């Protein structure tokens, strides 16, 4: 069994995240606390040659369609790279993106580990909210959910300041609103199918609620 096959197998298991961590090394945040040298200080070659073109040399992309990767949990980034890969036998990826599928397929496990540790260790330069009224509605949903529609508070999992709760819950605060909205739509329509929790939540959200929450999240610190 190739190492990547092994990693993918583990990823599908319930123990995936813990096992991945064992296999690929300490999570970036733990490593940063214990020994700061664990994440590469200078960008790995794959970053300068490929990823930086869209995600920035330091993980702070400038085009709102390209998510910021700086300061995101390493395990989360790793899970996404695996989700983008077309399944064995050609089955649709859990997270469909023609663009990212190609890049995710070409990375070796070592490169995935290195590139995610590097981006996780970078400092986020947060985006900003654009519309005050939208952001006010967004804040309500973020903090309290919408009880009548059975939509839970986002803060329950993603944290009050949107910092996320590694390993499970990604950082949201400061991400581009356009990207956040696109992901909620993708969860709703099933083209992103790598979180049962998020699919169920997004399925209950209207376009207007998605716009509001996305704008609030861009400005959230
Ligand atoms: C041509 C532009 C482009 C390049 C080059 C690129 N990406 Fe992406 N990346 C994107 C876009 C667009 C998305 C959002 C995909 C979607 O619609 O879900 C994305 C999403 C991601 C995500 C998911 C982030 C999240 O918050 O869920 C990760 C991780 C990622 N890219 C890593 C990489 C790495 C590592 C490389 C280099 C090997 C790379 N990307 C190269 C455009 C690019
Ligand atoms: C029960 C826990 C839970 C709640 C509540 C929750 N989320 Fe999530 N969310 C998750 C998990 C888990 C993921 C990561 C899925 C993965 O690993 O791919 C996620 C991922 C996301 C992403 C993708 C981030 C990225 O970088 O691509 C967005 C956007 C998001 N959530 C928005 C929201 C919003 C908005 C709310 C509130 C309406 C919310 N979430 C409530 C658990 C939750």
Cβ of 202 closer than 6 Å to ligand 2, yes or no, is no
Cβ of 183 closer than 6 Å to ligand 2, yes or no, is yes
Cβ of 30 closer than 6 Å to ligand 1, yes or no, is no
As a whole-number percent, the residues of the chain with pLDDT over 90 amount to 78
Taking alpha carbons only, the member of 210, 168, 179 closest to residue 29 is 168
Q: What are phi and psi of 4, to 5 degrees?
A: -70, -40
Cβ of 53 closer than 6 Å to ligand 1, yes or no, is yes
Q: What are phi and psi of 151, to 5 degrees?
A: -100, 120
Tokens representing 160 are: 């009050």
Tokens representing 201 are: 């939540």
Q: Quick check: 105 and 118 in contact, CB under 8 A? A: no
* Distance spanning both ends of the chain, measured CA to CA: 43
- pLDDT tens-place string over residues 198-207: 999 999 999 9
Closest ligand to C-alpha of residue 113 is 1
> d(Cα 43, Cα 159) in Å, to the nearest integer?
29
- Centre of ligand 1 from the C-alpha of residue 150, in Å: 31
Work out the angle at residue 65's Cα, subtended by the Cα atoms of residues 183 and 41, and round it to the nearest 5 degrees. 100
What pLDDT is attached to residue 30?
33
| pLDDT tens, N- to C-terminus, the chain (221 residues) | 444 444 444 444 333 344 444 444 433 333 333 233 368 889 999 999 999 999 999 999 999 999 999 999 999 999 999 999 998 888 899 999 999 999 999 999 999 999 999 999 999 999 999 999 999 999 999 999 999 999 999 999 999 999 999 989 999 999 999 999 999 999 999 999 999 999 999 999 999 999 999 999 999 99
Q: Count of CB atoms within 10 A of residue 193's CB? A: 17
What pLDDT is attached to residue 88?
85
The protein residue with its alpha carbon nearest to ligand 2, atom 11, reads 169
What pLDDT is attached to residue 17?
41
Cβ of 146 closer than 6 Å to ligand 1, yes or no, is no
Cα Rg of the chain, angstroms: 17
Could you tell me the sign of the dihedral formed by the alpha carbons of 32, 34, 40, 41, in that order?
positive
- Centre of ligand 1 from the C-alpha of residue 155, in Å: 25
């Amino acid at each position: 069994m190739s190492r990547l096959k092994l990693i993918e197998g583990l990823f599908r298991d319930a123990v995936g995240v813990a096992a991945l961590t064992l296999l690929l090394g300490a999570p970036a945040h733990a490593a940063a606390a214990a020994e700061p040298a664990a994440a590469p200080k200078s960008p790995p070659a794959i970053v300068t040659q490929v990823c930086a073109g869209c995600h920035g040399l330091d993980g702070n992309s400038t085009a709102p369609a390209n998510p910021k990767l700086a300061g995101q949990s390493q395990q989360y980034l790793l899970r996404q790279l695996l989700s983008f890969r077309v399944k064995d036998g050609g089955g649709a990826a859990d997270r469909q993106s023609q663009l990212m599928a190609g890049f995710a397929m070409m990375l070796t496990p070592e490169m995935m580990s290195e590139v995610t540790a590097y981006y996780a260790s970078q400092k986020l330069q947060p985006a900003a909210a654009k519309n005050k009224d939208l952001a006010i509605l967004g804040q309500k949903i973020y903090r309290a959910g919408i009880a009548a529609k059975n939509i839970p508070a986002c803060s329950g999992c993603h944290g009050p300041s949107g910092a996320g709760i590694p390993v499970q819950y990604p950082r949201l605060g400061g991400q581009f609103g356009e990207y956040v909205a696109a992901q909620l739509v993708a969860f709703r329509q099933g083209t992103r199918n790598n979180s049962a929790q998020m699919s169920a939540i997004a399925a209950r959200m209207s376009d207007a609620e998605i716009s509001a929450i996305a704008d609030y999240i861009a400005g959230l610190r």
